[in-house]
């Protein structure tokens, strides 16, 4: 009797095993990336996907990411190191490019070349970057006026090249053969009121991305209509000819997930890539499945954004989107990995990872009275649902009036660091939560090395940051008070970032040495 029972159990378990393994196979989940990667544009070249995004006033700019599965992405390059050397982008003469810089980009692949376009109100120009090797470059740059808002580069089958752009009223212009400018007298209205399918305009239709599928043209836009239950909405227009006429409809209205376009897999499965405003962490990417019905792409599952997708499971954003850095460099390695971006253009004479091997040195050469005006703040994205950044700082070479440390960067920033007053050093925490920087706590410091940490909680849009210091790297002490993080429009238009900073308010010429930056997907708060 016992033998039969175990034999029956073994047969049942064996038959059930394939189903159990299938049922338990992890799937991808939305958001695809829980970090600020907005205004995505995406292509597939054979079995590899490439994506460009917006980082505005950061340098280098227009990050390029690569994926093999549409879910897990790696930063592989940037379209430019420096967009332009103007006062606002260089953070000089009281000017800044917060909330500006370069906006929505397009990425395309055409006849063996990769193309990335963007535009910048800061310079009043439109930019087209090209390369044969998207990961190693070099990139060739052309630019011309004016700055075409949210311009979308499109190569038609007949070899003609276009930009589609605008807000509410959408326009089309034809590019000349070498993409260095616009053919004269080709500008005309493409759609008079692209917002109309979604209702009365609040945010007019923008973020244009045009696709050609089975001989038809499909134009994707984001809009935010007025009225009850309003939210960011996908609007799709369709035409048989590139010049129209276009008919439009709402493509998706759920959770404010919008702005993006279409991507297909090698096996013919379709998705739409979109993003969602998610509080202070920024604008985060989503994927929704697409089915084709009556010649229209139908987004979502019964009109909703699914929580899971039939794609490989998400892996950690560490180390391919964000990463720790011990600042130790071997011969031939780049000075900074691609996960880092400077807040505005850096002054390259004032930073080094070689002057003291194993350390990032940030030097001062001018007087700044406000953290947001200080150059050479080195940043990485925060990410959700929770994340922390920590550093070990050597302050032995700071001078009277210097401030150095770790920041949560946005207009309503938070700082934890060291300041020098006369011959005395202090650990301090300051907040810009009231639009005027306020020091919340200041503690005398009697040693030259200090451990600093910031923890960010983005769960359910909690949007709280806490600040810590340690004298030995073991016992952490909370300092100041929590910062209620806010995504600010139009001032910064970017999710919060961790940053390492050093600036002088009195005596330039000192420097701060950062031993490491360590990022984590865990925090101490429950």
Whether 490 and 403 share a structural domain: yes
Q: Per the domain annotation, does 467 fall within a domain? A: yes
Q: Between the CA of residue 271 and those of 10, 56, 70, 260, 278, what are the distances in Å? A: 41, 26, 9, 11, 21
Higher local confidence (pLDDT), 18 or 232: 232
Give Cβ neighbours of residue 262 (< 8 Å, ≥ 6 apart). Answer: 211, 213, 218, 220, 270, 271, 272, 273, 290, 297
Per-residue confidence band for 227, with pLDDT thresholds at 50, 70 and 90: confident
pLDDT digit string (tens) for 129-169?
999 999 999 999 999 999 999 999 999 999 999 999 999 99
Q: Distance (Å, rounded) from C-alpha 398 to C-alpha 507? A: 9
pLDDT tens for 371-407 read 999 999 999 999 999 999 999 999 999 999 999 999 9
CATH number, residue 168: 2.115.10.20
Please give the full DSSP string across 261-328, using - where no structure is assigned: EEEE-TTS-EEEEEEEE-GGG-EEEEEEEEEEETTEEEESBTTB--SEESSPPP--STTTTS--B---
Q: Are residues 272 and 355 in the same domain?
A: no
Identify the helix (H) or strand (E) that includes residue 213: strand 203-213
Under the banding of pLDDT at 50, 70 and 90, the label for residue 109 is: very high
CATH number at residue 433: 2.60.120.200
Do 79 and 208 fall into the same domain? yes
pLDDT-derived band at 352, boundaries 50, 70, 90: very high
How many angstroms separate the CA atoms of 324 and 302, rounded? 41
Give the per-residue pLDDT at 24.
61
Q: What is the chain's mean pLDDT, rounded?
A: 94
Decide if 3 is inside a domain: no
**Gap between the terminal Cα atoms of the chain:** 52
> Is 67 a domain residue?
yes
What percent of the chain lies above the pLDDT cut of 90?
91
Q: Are residues 348 and 223 in the same domain?
A: no
Tell me what pLDDT residue 13 has: 45
* 330 occurs within a structural domain: no
At residue 21, does pLDDT exceed 90? no
Of the ranges 44-53, 114-123, 483-492, which one carries the lowest mean pLDDT score? 483-492
Specify if 288 maps to a domain. Answer: yes
Is the domain of 250 the same as that of 371? no
What residue numbers bound the domain in which 448 lies? 341-520
User: What's the domain count of the chain?
Assistant: 2
170 inside domain: yes
Q: Hey, what's the torsion of the CAs at 468, 473, 474, 480, to 10 degrees?
A: -10
77, 147: one domain: yes
Whether the per-residue pLDDT at 54 is higher than 50: the answer is yes
Residue that is last in its domain, among 260, 287, 309: 309
Residues 91 and 164 in one domain: yes
Closest CA to 49 of 256, 297, 311: 311
**Does the pLDDT of residue 1 top 50, yes or no?**
no
Inter-residue contact 197 to 211 (CB < 8 Å): no
353, 489: one domain: yes
Confidence of residue 4 (pLDDT cuts 50, 70, 90): very low
pLDDT at 5 over 70: no
- Single pTM value for the model: 0.93
293 and 361, same domain (yes or no): no
348 phi and psi angles, rounded to 5 deg: -70, -10
Q: What is the mean pLDDT of residues 184-210?
A: 94
Judge whether 318 lies within some domain.
Answer: no
- Identify the pLDDT of residue 6: 42
> Within this chain, do residues 128 and 273 fall inside the same structural domain, yes or no?
yes
The residue from 285, 309, 333 where one domain ends is: 309
Same domain membership, residue 349 and residue 253: no
**Does 118 share its domain with 177?**
yes
In a domain, 317, yes or no: no
Query: Where do we find the tokens 């034809």?
Result: 174
CA distance 79 to 15: 53
Structure tokens at 455: 């923890």
């Amino acid at each position: 009797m016992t033998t039969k029972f175990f034999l029956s159990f073994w047969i049942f378990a064996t038959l059930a095993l394939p189903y159990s393994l299938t049922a338990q196979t992890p799937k991808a989940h939305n958001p695809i990336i829980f970090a600020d990667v907005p205004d995505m544009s995406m292509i597939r070249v054979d079995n590899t996907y490439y994506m460009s995004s917006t980082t505005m006033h950061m340098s280098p700019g227009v990050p390029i990411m690569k994926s093999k599965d549409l879910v897990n992405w790696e930063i592989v390059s940037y379209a430019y190191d420096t967009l332009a050397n103007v006062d606002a982008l260089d953070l000089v003469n009281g000017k800044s490019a917060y909330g500006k810089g370069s906006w929505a980009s397009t990425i395309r692949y055409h006849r063996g070349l990769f193309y990335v376009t963007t535009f910048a109100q800061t310079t009043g120009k439109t930019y087209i970057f090209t390369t044969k090797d998207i990961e190693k470059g070099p990139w060739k740059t052309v630019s011309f006026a004016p700055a075409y808002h949210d311009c979308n580069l499109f190569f038609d089958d007949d070899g003609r090249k276009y930009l589609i752009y605008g807000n509410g009223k959408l326009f089309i212009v034809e590019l000349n053969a070498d993409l260095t400018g616009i053919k004269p007298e080709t500008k005309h209205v493409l759609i008079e009121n692209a917002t109309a399918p979604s209702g009365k305009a609040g945010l007019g239709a923008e973020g244009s991305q045009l696709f050609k599928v089975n001989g038809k043209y499909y134009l994707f836009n984001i809009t935010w209509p007025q009225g009850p239950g309003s939210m960011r909405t996908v609007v799709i227009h369709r035409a048989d000819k590139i010049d129209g006429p276009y008919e439009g409809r709402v493509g998706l209205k759920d959770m404010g997930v919008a702005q993006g376009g279409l991507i297909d897999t090698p096996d013919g499965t379709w998705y739409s890539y979109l993003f969602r405003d998610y509080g202070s962490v920024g604008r985060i990417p989503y994927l929704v499945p697409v089915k084709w019905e009556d010649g229209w792409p139908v987004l979502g599952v019964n009109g909703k954004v699914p929580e899971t997708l039939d794609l490989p499971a998400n892996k950690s954003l560490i180390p391919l989107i964000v990463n720790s850095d011990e600042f130790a460099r071997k011969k031939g390695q780049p000075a900074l990995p691609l996960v880092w971006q400077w807040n505005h253009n850096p002054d390259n004479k004032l930073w080094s990872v070689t002057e003291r091997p194993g350390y990032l040195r940030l030097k001062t050469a001018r007087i700044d009275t406000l953290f947001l005006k200080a150059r050479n703040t080195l940043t990485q994205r925060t990410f959700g649902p929770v994340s922390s950044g920590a550093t070990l700082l050597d302050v032995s070479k700071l001078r009277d009036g210097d401030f150095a440390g770790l920041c949560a960067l946005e207009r309503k920033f938070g700082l934890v660091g060291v300041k020098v007053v006369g011959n005395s050093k202090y650990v301090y925490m300051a907040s810009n939560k009231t639009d005027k920087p306020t020091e919340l706590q200041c503690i005398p410091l009697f040693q030259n090395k200090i451990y600093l940490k910031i923890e960010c909680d983005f769960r359910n849009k909690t949007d709280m940051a806490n600040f810590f210091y340690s004298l030995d790297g073991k016992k952490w002490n909370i300092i100041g008070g929590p910062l209620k993080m806010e995504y600010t429009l139009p001032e910064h238009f970017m999710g919060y970032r961790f940053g390492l900073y050093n600036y002088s308010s009195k005596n330039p010429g000192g420097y701060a040495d950062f031993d490491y930056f360590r990022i984590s997907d865990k925090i101490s708060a429950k």
